[in-house]
Amino acid sequence: MKRAYTADISQDQSEAVFGQIAQLATQTFSYMDLSSDLVKAAQVQLLESSISQDSAELTQDFVANTLFPKAVDNVFAGYQKDCYRFSLSKTQDADLSDDIAQEAIKLLLLK
């Protein structure tokens, strides 16, 4: 039977996982402070996911190659939605706003 992460991992393990996420955020996005947003996104993912009772799946490799990339995707998807809504409020053009939002996120990711 699978259970939620929060029921299966210790406080120390949670702190280690979120510390690793914060460290990866700093290394990957040195020009932006995304640590807080990425840790929150990872917490949501963990609450919505399940792993085996012994938490064996929650390794540094899992955090770096699965949890962190999904958190990045989720955070930037939220940023893109915010950018789209702002652009739409200024342009009143859905297609142009979509283009602006995509370009803004692309520029953030390519920096």
Residues 42 and 34 sit within 8 Å (Cβ to Cβ): no
Please compute, for residue 59, the number of CA atoms within 13 A of its CA located in the half-sphere on the CB side.
5
Confidence check: pLDDT of 6 > 60: no
- Quick one: three-class SS letters along 60-97? HHHHHHHHHHHHHHHHHHHHHHHHHHHHHHHHCCHHHH
- Name the DSSP letter for residue 37: H
What residues contact 98, with CB distance under 8 A and at least 6 apart? 84
To the nearest whole number, what is the mean pLDDT of the chain? 86
Give the whole-number percent of the chain exceeding pLDDT 70. Answer: 85
Across 72-97, average pLDDT: 97
Determine the pLDDT at residue 52.
47
- Name the token pair of 52: 């085996």
Determine the pLDDT at residue 25.
95
Domain boundaries along the sequence of the chain: 3-110
- Name the DSSP letter for residue 32: S
